[in-house]
């Protein structure tokens, strides 16, 4: 699901410092924030919207489509389950360092309630020029310009860099889809690739991957069925094996999840793989011309 | 975080999984003394890595004198780069069959996965690779846990009936341990059936979820120390992720993805990154601490600061770097490239206070930093 202007957005943890800063940024950009959650401030208003005791409570008078969590890791599971039970179609989970067993329970609740989780540990989604959910610099017009290239990234910072590279070379973006740096994420790179493949506003897709796991290999399988051009950059070629490179999911262990296997899988699927992020716009131009 | 056998096995015992009697020894004399109490024993190197037997770190001893000799040989060994500082002296077990049992977090199913094999012992990975049917997999629902029926299915048809009840109980108990300890992986290899048809865990590998450490304090305190360099230990204490890499171009970036990418681009242009150090997420206010640790590495000949801020505000990070730079006055060139949240303020700050013009293109900044490091490094 790609967030749109008409989607009703509920912010869990809206009254905190980060919740306040980013909710305001989302509102200014055009996101339709209809309320927030903080059990201690239920009944008050914040940033011009009502604050509810829970997402379930909100759903009674202010039904929502998307929930976005600004919630610390140890409280994230309860908040996520609350959002699922409150009827969120999409739950954007920004929180990093949620215990893995809690994440598994979140996925069970999501499945039972028909919620799609994006993340954990995602920087969010930008529907460029329309709305955004999360902590991406959507409002920075040197990074994000409305256009027709979709960007998928496990990392917010790398996704920002690639979007900037595209913008510097005159390519605007349709959607930035941050899937998250955790090992057990709700929406995979392959899922995001399918969404952008089906999106009429997107002509080509850039996949920003990293070492660890098999998300790129699975995405490659889907990419091989696509008509739209796909270019990719995989971070971590120089990273030593056996070390977690910041993200919990970015680790090469027992020879699995390494750079070479990801690159080989993507190239076999016909994806143009860049050596540096700055090569991405050129590869996209080439592929679009050939298409 | 990982646990050595001597720390992991008492946890199994707490969940009613039988383990042999044992004592930890730090010296050959202690090992001899332990063997005197325990009787015929196994002397086992205590390091948080596998393949100890193959490395010669596990030896049978019939007498206390023999236990002492083995301890003398094993203490001081290096196994997979880990120095052996202690041994576990454990009672010998009369083994009939060696099995394999593990429960782990599975990212494909986003839930727990139970693994069982009747071909446990050394080389179980290789066996499973050659014959995928040798390892049985069961996806477990995290809300329901494994049922007795699943545990029975795991051991079905393997001619283990005589020990069947103890085995299924061990499977269910191990799952309890996995859940209550917030394990990423809990593995018993070998899980043995003794000649008297009892089930005993002869080893245990435990990896606890780092993200759960704050609610597993007592257990986490038993974990094996991480293998850090002095600077890595200092960074960890400050809550920063820093990994030394041996090259000459210092890297300071925000976010795991951007930091890895910066390292890759440095290598692409013929340089070698000196470190991984990211100050994204909540760490973005720690730029000053980060920089001072990075500069303590004598191999660093130039510094590349690459910020692409989303959640992390580049103006806050840049201010930290500029403050630290003015205070530490390092004798190396520094190259900046800054984009994203707060970039105008950040760029102005670097320009005004350090008199340095940040590069608009990351590649240009990387090339300059690599050239500077290569000029200043002895070939």
At B302-353, the pLDDT tens digits run 999 999 987 778 888 898 899 889 988 899 999 999 998 889 999 999 999 9
Partner A contacted by B273 (CB < 8 A): yes
Residue B283 pLDDT more than 80? no
Q: What is the mean pLDDT of residues A42-65?
A: 98
Whether residues A246 and B363 touch (CB distance < 8 A) is answered with no
| Chain B residues touching residue A245 (CB < 8 angstroms) | 243, 256, 259-260, 276
pLDDT tens digits for B147-176?
A: 999 999 999 999 998 899 999 999 999 999
Domains along the sequence of chain A with CATH: 8-118 (3.40.50.720), 140-290 (3.40.50.261)
B4-33 residues touching A, CB cutoff 8 A: none
Residue B282, pLDDT > 70, answer: no
- Indicate left, alpha or beta for A186 from its phi (over 0: left) and psi (-120 to 50: alpha): alpha
The pLDDT score that the predictor gives to residue B280 is 66
> How far is the C-alpha of B299 from the C-alpha of A57, rounded, in Å?
57
- The CA angle A207-A210-A212, to the nearest 5 degrees, is 130
Choosing among A232, A233, A238, A280, which should be mutated to test the B contact, i.e. which has the most B CBs within 10 A?
A238
Q: Are A237 and B312 in contact (CB < 8 Å)? A: no
With 0-12 / 13-18 / 19 or more C-beta atoms within 10 angstroms meaning exposed / middle / buried, residue B211 is buried
- How do residues A158-203 score in pLDDT, each as one tens digit? 999 999 999 999 999 999 999 999 999 999 999 999 999 999 999 9
For an interface test with A, give the residue of B1, B183, B257, B342 to mutate (most A CBs within 10 A). B257
Tell me: ipTM over 0.90.
yes
Nearest CA in chain A to B267: A238
Q: Taking CB atoms and an 8 Å limit, are A104 and B111 in contact across chains?
A: yes
Going from the C-alpha of B121 to that of each of B42, B88, B151, B157, B359, the distances in angstroms are 15, 18, 20, 20, 57
**Residue-level pLDDT at B133:** 84
pLDDT for A193 equals 98
Task: Report pLDDT for A253.
Answer: 64
- Interface check for B217 against chain A (CB to CB < 8 A): the answer is no
Please, which pLDDT band fits residue B284 given cuts at 50, 70 and 90? Answer: low
| In chain B, % of residues over pLDDT 90 | 76
Q: Which residues of B touch A153 (CB under 8 A)?
A: 257
Name the residue among A214, A245, A278 with its Cβ closest to that of B256: A245
On the question of pLDDT at A3 being above 80, the answer is yes
Q: Which tokens go with A171?
A: 């390519």
Give chain B's domains with CATH numbers.
21-91 (3.30.1490.20), 95-220 (3.30.470.20), 230-376 (3.40.50.261)
* A39-64 mean pLDDT: 98
On the question of pLDDT at A255 being above 90, the answer is no
* Per-residue pLDDT, B152: 96
- Using the Cβ of B340 and the Cβ atoms of chain A, whether some distance falls under 8 Å is answered with yes
**Average pLDDT of the residues in B85-107:** 96
Active site residues of B: 100, 187
What pLDDT digit, counting tens, does each position of B11-67 carry? 999 999 999 999 999 999 999 999 999 999 999 999 988 889 889 999 999 999 999
CB contacts of A238 in chain B (<8 Å) are 245, 260, 263-264, 266-267, 273
Cβ contact A246–B266 (<8 Å): no
Q: Which of A18, A104, A235 sits opposite B264 (nearest CB)?
A: A235
Q: Is the backbone peptide bond immediately before A219 cis, with ω within 30 degrees of 0? A: no
Mean pLDDT on A8-21: 96
Pairs from A27-34 (Cβ < 8 Å, separation ≥ 24): A28/A139, A29/A131, A29/A132, A29/A138, A29/A139, A30/A5, A30/A130, A30/A131, A31/A3, A31/A5, A31/A131, A31/A132, A31/A133, A32/A5, A32/A6, A32/A7, A32/A8, A32/A131, A33/A9, A34/A8, A34/A9, A34/A10, A34/A62, A34/A64
Q: What is the mean pLDDT of residues A214-221?
A: 94
Which chain B residues have a beta carbon less than 8 Å from that of A142? Answer: 339, 343
* pLDDT, average across residues B268-280: 91
Look at residue B309 in the predicted model and tell me its pLDDT.
Answer: 84
Select the residue of B142, B263, B361 nearest A101 (Cβ to Cβ): B142
Q: Are A12 and A71 in contact (CB under 8 A)?
A: yes
Assess whether pLDDT exceeds 80 at residue B378.
no
Q: What percent of chain B has pLDDT over 70?
A: 98
- The pTM for the full model equals 0.94
Classify strands B302-309 and B249-253 as parallel, antiparallel or unpaired.
parallel
Confirm or reject contact between B268 and chain A (CB < 8 A).
Answer: yes
Residue B125 is predicted with a pLDDT of 78
Chain B positions in Cβ-Cβ contact with residue A104 (cut-off 8 Å): 105, 110-112, 142
Q: Among A102, A161, A257, pick the best mutation site for testing chain B contact (most B Cβ within 10 A).
A: A161
The pLDDT of residue A34: 98
Q: Residue B316: its pLDDT value, please?
A: 87
The minimal CB distance from B257 to the residues A22, A153, A168 is found for A153
Q: What is the pLDDT of residue A257?
A: 82
Q: How many CB pairs under 8 A join A and B?
A: 176
Q: Are A179 and A152 in contact (CB under 8 A)?
A: yes
pLDDT score of A251 more than 80: no
Beta-carbon separation of B340 and A140 below 8 A: yes
Predicted confidence band of residue B225 (pLDDT cuts 50, 70, 90): confident
**Residue B17 tokens, joined:** 């999984």
Instruction: Report the residue from A101, A164, A276 with minimal CB separation from B179.
Output: A101
Q: pLDDT-derived band of residue A243, with 50, 70 and 90 as boundaries?
A: confident
Contacts of B363 in chain A (CB under 8 A): 276, 278
Smallest Cβ–Cβ distance between B261 and the set A99, A140, A158 belongs to: A158
């Amino acid at each position: 699901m790609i967030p749109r202007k008409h989607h009703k957005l509920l912010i869990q943890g809206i009254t905190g410092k980060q919740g306040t800063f980013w909710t305001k940024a989302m509102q200014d950009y055009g996101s339709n924030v209809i309320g927030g959650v903080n059990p201690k401030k239920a009944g008050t208003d914040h940033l011009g919207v009502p604050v509810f005791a829970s997402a379930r409570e909100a759903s009674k008078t202010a039904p929502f489509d998307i929930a976005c969590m600004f919630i610390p890791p140890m409280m994230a599971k309860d908040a996520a389950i609350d959002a699922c039970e409150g009827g969120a179609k999409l739950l954007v989970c920004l929180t990093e360092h949620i215990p893995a067993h809690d994440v598994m329970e979140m996925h069970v609740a999501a499945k039972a309630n028909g919620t799609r989780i994006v993340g954990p540990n995602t920087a969010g989604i930008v529907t460029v020029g329309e709305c955004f959910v999360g902590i991406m610099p959507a409002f920075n017009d040197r990074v994000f310009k409305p256009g027709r290239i979709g960007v998928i990234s496990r990392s917010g910072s790398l996704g920002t860099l690639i979007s900037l590279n595209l913008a510097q070379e005159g390519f605007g973006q349709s959607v930035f889809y941050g899937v998250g740096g955790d090992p057990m994420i709700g929406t995979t790179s392959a899922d995001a690739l399918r969404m952008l493949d089906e999106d009429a506003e997107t002509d080509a897709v850039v996949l920003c991957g990293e070492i660890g796991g098999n998300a790129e290999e699975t995405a490659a399988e889907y990419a091989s069925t696509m008509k739209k051009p796909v270019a990719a950059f995989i971070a971590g070629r120089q990273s030593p094996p056996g070390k977690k490179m910041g993200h919990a999911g970015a680790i090469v262990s027992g020879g699995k999840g390494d750079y070479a296997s990801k690159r080989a899988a993507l190239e076999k699927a016909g994806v143009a793989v860049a050596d540096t992020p700055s090569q991405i716009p050129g590869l996209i131009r080439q592929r679009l011309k050939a298409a | 975080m990982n646990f050595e056998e001597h720390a992991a096995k008492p946890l199994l015992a707490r969940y009613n999984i039988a383990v042999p009697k044992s004592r930890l020894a730090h010296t050959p004399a202690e090992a001899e003394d332990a063997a005197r109490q325990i009787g015929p024993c196994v002397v086992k190197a205590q390091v948080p890595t596998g393949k100890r037997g193959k490395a010669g770190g596990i030896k049978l001893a019939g007498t206390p004198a023999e236990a002492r000799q083995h301890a003398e040989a094993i203490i001081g060994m290096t196994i997979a780069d880990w120095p052996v500082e202690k041994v576990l002296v454990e009672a010998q077990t009369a083994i009939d069959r060696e099995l394999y049992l593990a429960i782990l977090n599975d990212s494909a199913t986003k839930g727990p996965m139970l693994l069982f094999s009747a071909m446990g012992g050394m080389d179980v990975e290789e066996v499973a690779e050659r014959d995928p049917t040798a390892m049985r997999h069961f996806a477990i629902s995290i809300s329901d846990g494994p049922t007795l029926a699943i545990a029975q299915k795991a051991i079905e048809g393997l001619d283990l009936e005589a020990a069947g009840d103890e085995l299924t109980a061990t499977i269910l108990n191990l799952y309890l341990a996995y859940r209550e300890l917030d394990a990423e992986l809990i593995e018993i290899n070998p899980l043995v059936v003794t000649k008297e048809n009892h089930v005993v865990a002869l080893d245990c590998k435990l990896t606890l979820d780092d993200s759960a450490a704050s609610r597993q304090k007592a257990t986490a305190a038993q974990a094996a120390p991480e293998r850090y360099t002095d600077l890595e230990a200092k960074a960890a204490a400050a809550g920063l992720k820093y990994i030394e890499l041996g090259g000459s171009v210092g890297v300071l970036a925000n976010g795991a993805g951007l930091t890895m990418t910066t390292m890759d681009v440095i290598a692409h242009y013929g340089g070698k990154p000196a470190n991984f150090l990211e100050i994204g997420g909540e760490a973005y206010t720690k730029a000053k601490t980060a920089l001072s640790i990075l500069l303590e590495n004598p191999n660093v000949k130039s510094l590349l600061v690459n910020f692409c801020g989303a959640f992390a505000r580049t103006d806050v990070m840049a201010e930290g770097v500029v403050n630290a730079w003015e205070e530490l006055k390092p004798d190396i060139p520094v190259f900046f490239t800054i984009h994203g949240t707060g970039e105008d303020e950040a760029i102005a700050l670097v320009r005004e206070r350090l008199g340095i013009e940040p590069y608009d293109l990351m590649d240009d900044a990387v090339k300059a930093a690599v050239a500077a490091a290569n000029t200043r490094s002895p070939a």
